[in-house]
Amino acid sequence: MKRLNRFIAISLVLACCQSAFACLWIETHNYYLFHVYNSEEFSTRVNNITKDNWKAYLGSTEEYYYFNADEVRKYAQSKGDALMASYVTNLEKYLDCASAVSSDTWNYPTKEELAQRRQVLTAVRQYALSKLSSRLRSQHALLFMRCNMLLGNHAENVSFWEARSSNFIETVYKDMMKNIYAGALLKTGNSVKAGQLFAEMGDWNSLMTQYYEKRSYQAIRAEYQRDANSAVLPFLLQDFINNAQEAYDGNEPGKQFIRDISKQEAHQMIQLAGQVVKDGRSRVPALWMSAKAWLEYMFDSRSQALADINEAVTLDGNEWMKNCARVLKLYISASEKPINAQFDQYLAGELQWLNQMKQEDIFFGNALDRTIHQVLADKYAMNQRPKTSQALLGFLNETDAQYENGLDTMEVSRLEQFLDYLKRPDVSPLDKLLASRITVDQTKMNDLVGTKYLRICRWAEAAKWLQQVPVSFYNKASYAVYAANRSFRVEPWMKRQWLKSDMEYSSEEQHMTTNPKLDFANEMMTLESRLPKLKGNDYQQACYDLAARYAQVSFSGDCWFIMRNGKSIYDKVRNNETDLNKEAVRLLCKAVNTSDKKLKERVLFALSYEYINPDTWYKSEWDSNLAEYRIIPQPDSWHYKALAALADFERDNNAVSPYVSRCDNFATFRKQYK
Amino acid sequence: MCKQLVWLLLLPLWVGCTHQKHMDDENSVYYWRTEWRLDSTERAFLTQYHINKVYCRYFDVVLNDDNQPMPNATIAFTEKVPQDLELVPTVFITENCMHQRHEGLARKLVERIVQMDETNDIPKVQEIQIDCDYTGRSRQTYYDFLSEVRQEAEKHHLRLSTTIRLHQLSMSAPPVDYGVLMLYNTGDPQKFQERNPILDLRDVQPYLRYLSDYPLPLAAAYPVFLWQRDIYGVRVEHVVEADEILQVKAAVEKKRSALRHTILLYHLDHDNINRYNHETFESVYRH
């Protein structure tokens, strides 16, 4: 047993666990449900259009087109388009300067390069200015404004837009000029107008930069009073509601925090939203009524929320606001309405709608995720429809962690019923929809059912399923490297089967020749069938051998992959799983009566192995006076008694084997054991 | 014969002490912003605590979409660095950059630092520092990378140091001139209600045993920063009490007295300076 330094290592392991906690990601599904504008940002939109324009000019049909100045210039020259060729040459000069300004390239500019960059920008600016009456005046005007932006000539950009380029025809270049103009307004102190323009253009990143410090109920009320149909209001309102949702989602008692949105502020917003709808001055009452309903759901009356969201879906608003109201109606209805045939029918329709809409914007997929995870799955499970509950998660995504965990941990008979349900769903339109969208990988299911039988130690039934799984399945499994390089025959208390990091992190495919789970099932059947025929030391040796295998495939053993797909320090015995370490202890207790002293020493050593003991022989307490941890022995613990038995044996026999004397945990124990 | 015997007896002692040599009594501070601009409070702080050396984050190195390491968040020198101040260009490299070797990265990194010094008229640069939260997985690649950086740095007569996190003390030492022991970010951010995730002596204690024998000269860096984060949309603030910092300082110096020589604070900032009183700074910077 490699237990050197274990005792000291324990505290390190504990400390390492802490850093591992930082990496532990617990999916909360707390997606925002209030989303009233397109997620596509202004910059993405204009980039896509300009790419399409270049493609059209070049006659390109490439799906993933990237602007290449040289390619465009050569094409323009071949067509005799000198103006385009010179434009592209100057555009390239500007783009080179702009990318260098970001300064996150390996070639950091020299002083000379910086001075030269300014010279280049000034020259390109002059060139662009000279072409404002040309056929490509919009492109050149944009180039002129871009150079000004980098040179810091913001006031000039304001006057240029207002006097000239605002009168140009509508193109994507004009949109980009308008965006630069809005930025120039902000830089020169006209923030109200800049905000309106950013909002109209859907430049949410710029709006967030501008309004970051000014997001509150007070700000929204002031903006509404200034202009009931201000373009900034949907942005501010969405930001407010989402922050309120953050406070709601994290609403746990005893937290040491300052709330971004307090309940009081949320109530003020409920009042304001109601007042706005009553006033009738807003052209988008659906926006305000949805906001009111969602805040009520989170912080006030859920029945009022249901009434208000039902009204919101009938009110005016743009397409996004109406869709948002529909999403909220689904969530609130799912939470508040009873499950019956009518609700099943409604839900089937809404699930189909969301499933279709999620192709258009990630918001709808996220809303579906939250509604199923936070409301529907539990609701159907509690209404005696566990198969529908499980299928809802699968409908969401067949790689959904909760869906996979459900399949992985449910009782084996329930899994067989669920697989049957997918083939022959219940009559409900909802069940039919769900079953029609979930596919079953039969090999994966054969492995899963077989593994479930392994977990409850029914080896023969396990073997029946596992023999249908080809070894290639295990060679591709995420745990293949462990399965290929570890053996369940090794006694875990004698040797840890660490893998070298090169091997552990290698992406090479493994080449096992036999099914490791089937091998284990067959071995256990053979060993256990022999047991009743054995007596004396042979029987005790067989018990010891079996115990080693049980411990090795337990969650704390090195061959955990026989029973589960992954390993975590938080692992423990799960539902529908035999406590394999307990089984190992039971067998070791039978083996301990052996008259073979060598075997007895091994058995006692195994019994003192900390990973098969539910509690350790000591507790460590922080001593603030000494500024270190103190060890407090726990003589009543099982582990303590096991170590004491080993110590007594070693004392009485006066012949400690090297594997025992090397164990620092035992040595530490001995120091305090009289 | 007798003399030789004495030398032989003293040799282990001498070898054991080498790693604690070479660190001068020095007050330093990290500068961890994206723009170099000092206000009057920060300038006064440097003067008051005799700080002549500032470990200044120049840029980060992160993997881009093509899995290639690239500079990120490069500092902008919007005002001149004082002539009497020595900057130690510091580069933070994300751990995943070290999951595989990147040909030429060391040369590019050193050349970029040297060019940044030249373009921005940075005076008195004598060394560079690399900061990376390397793990068992990335350690060997990182050490090989440091060896290459050291070779490149020597061409420009620059020394090399690296940060050492507590969990890295259990590994072999990196190939650098010295390390800066980071005595912050020691706890579990998830368990912020139980222990301060920035620094808690109870989290430091398990690593103290490695200190006396760690085979590399070490400086010590202590936290004076405020960590603000949003947890479920609510603002959570962490800051270390002065007593805790001083207790940790006493504990680490008890195990390794040389840690009292070169002392850094993380990091120079107006608010951080105002967060603690003069006595605290005096005590932390006590050699």
Tens of pLDDT, residue by residue over A118-137, are 999 999 999 999 999 999 99
pLDDT score, position B234:
53
A47 to chain B, minimum CA–CA distance in Å? 19
Alpha-carbon span A396 to A355, nearest angstrom = 8
DSSP B205: G
For residue A343, count CB atoms less than 10 angstroms from its CB and return exposed for 0-12, middle for 13-18, buried for 19 or more: middle
Sign of the alpha-carbon torsion through A378, A382, A383, A389: positive
Looking at the partner chain, which of B201, B203, B235 has a beta carbon nearest the beta carbon of A15?
Answer: B203
B119 to chain A, minimum CA–CA distance in Å? 5
In this prediction, residues A287-312 reach a mean pLDDT of: 97
Task: Give the confidence band of A474 by pLDDT, cuts at 50, 70, 90.
Answer: very high
Residue with the bigger pLDDT between B165 and A504: it is: B165
Contact state of B235 with A106 under an 8 Å Cβ cutoff: no
Distances in Å between the alpha carbon of A68 and those of A114, A241, A339, A370? 24, 43, 58, 42
Q: What residues of B are in contact with residue A105 (Cβ under 8 Å)?
A: 70-71
What's the one-letter identity of residue A83?
L
B35 lies in a domain?
Answer: yes
ipTM: 0.90
pLDDT score, position A383:
95
Counting one residue from chain A and one from chain B, the pairs whose CB atoms sit within 8 A come to 111
pLDDT score, position B210:
95
B1 lies in a domain?
Answer: no
Alpha-carbon span A309 to A301, nearest angstrom = 12
Residues of A with CB under 8 A from a CB of B: 8, 11-12, 14-16, 18-19, 21-22, 24, 28, 30, 103-111, 114, 243, 245-247, 249-252, 254-261, 501, 505, 622, 627-629
Contacts of A604 (CB under 8 A, 6+ apart): A592, A642, A645, A646, A649
In this prediction, residues A35-62 reach a mean pLDDT of: 92
In this prediction, residues A57-76 reach a mean pLDDT of: 93
B9 lies in a domain?
Answer: no
Taking only the tens place, the pLDDT of each residue in A561-606 is: 999 999 888 899 998 999 999 999 999 999 999 999 999 999 999 9
pTM for this predicted structure: 0.71
Chain A residue nearest residue B121, CA to CA:
A111
pLDDT score, position A33:
95
Task: Give the confidence band of A26 by pLDDT, cuts at 50, 70, 90.
Answer: low
Distances in Å between the alpha carbon of B20 and those of A566, B15, B88, B173? 43, 10, 21, 13
- The closest alpha carbon to A333, from A318, A322, A323, A344, belongs to A344
Phi, psi (rounded to 5 degrees) for B252? -75, -35
Chain B residue nearest residue A247, CA to CA:
B233
Alpha-carbon span B191 to A350, nearest angstrom = 40
Contact B244/B209 with Cβ under 8 angstroms? Answer: no
Place of tokens 């015995």: A573
B278 to chain A, minimum CA–CA distance in Å? 26
pLDDT score, position B235:
56
B224 lies in a domain?
Answer: yes
* Tally of domains in chain B: 1
Contact A299/A267 with Cβ under 8 angstroms? Answer: yes
The strand pair at A258-259 and B234-239 is best described as antiparallel
Q: What residues of A are in contact with residue B192 (Cβ under 8 Å)?
A: 256
pLDDT score, position A69:
96
Task: Give the confidence band of A22 by pLDDT, cuts at 50, 70, 90.
Answer: very low
- The closest alpha carbon to A241, from A313, A354, A306, A325, belongs to A325
A103 to chain B, minimum CA–CA distance in Å? 7
For residue A587, count CB atoms less than 10 angstroms from its CB and return exposed for 0-12, middle for 13-18, buried for 19 or more: buried
Residues constituting chain A: 674
Contact state of B70 with A106 under an 8 Å Cβ cutoff: yes
pLDDT score, position A102:
66
The one-digit pLDDT tens for each residue of chain B (287 residues) are 444 544 444 444 444 444 555 688 999 999 999 889 999 999 999 999 999 999 999 999 999 989 999 999 999 998 999 999 999 999 999 999 999 999 999 999 999 999 999 999 998 899 999 999 999 889 999 999 999 999 999 999 999 999 999 999 999 999 999 999 999 999 877 777 778 889 999 999 999 999 999 999 999 999 999 886 655 545 567 889 999 999 999 999 999 999 999 999 999 999 999 999 999 999 999 99
Alpha-carbon span B223 to A93, nearest angstrom = 45
Task: Give the confidence band of A40 by pLDDT, cuts at 50, 70, 90.
Answer: confident
pLDDT score, position B180:
98
pLDDT score, position A273:
98
Angle (nearest 5°) at CA A54 between A48 and A56: 100
In this prediction, residues A381-392 reach a mean pLDDT of: 96
Percent of chain A with pLDDT over 90: 77
In this prediction, residues A76-90 reach a mean pLDDT of: 97
| CATH code for the domain of B202 | 3.20.20.80
Residue with the bigger pLDDT between B87 and A213: it is: B87
Contact state of B136 with A501 under an 8 Å Cβ cutoff: yes
Contacts of A367 (CB under 8 A, 6+ apart): A31, A33, A35, A327, A330, A331, A354
pLDDT score, position A8:
30
Contact B273/B42 with Cβ under 8 angstroms? Answer: yes
pLDDT score, position A445:
94
Residue with the bigger pLDDT between A202 and A209: it is: A202
Alpha-carbon span A38 to A91, nearest angstrom = 30
Contact state of A104 with B72 under an 8 Å Cβ cutoff: yes
Distances in Å between the alpha carbon of A277 and those of A315, A317, A614? 10, 12, 62
B171 lies in a domain?
Answer: yes
pLDDT score, position B187:
85
Residue B188's domain comprises 24-284
Tokens in use for A349?
């329709």
Taking only the tens place, the pLDDT of each residue in A247-259 is: 888 744 333 333 4
B4 lies in a domain?
Answer: no
B240 lies in a domain?
Answer: yes
A433 to chain B, minimum CA–CA distance in Å? 34
Task: Give the confidence band of A39 by pLDDT, cuts at 50, 70, 90.
Answer: confident
Strand order in the sheet with B234-239: A258-259, B234-239, B226-231
Contact B187/B173 with Cβ under 8 angstroms? Answer: no
B59 lies in a domain?
Answer: yes
Is the bond preceding residue B22 a cis peptide, omega within 30 degrees? no
pLDDT at A12 over 50: no
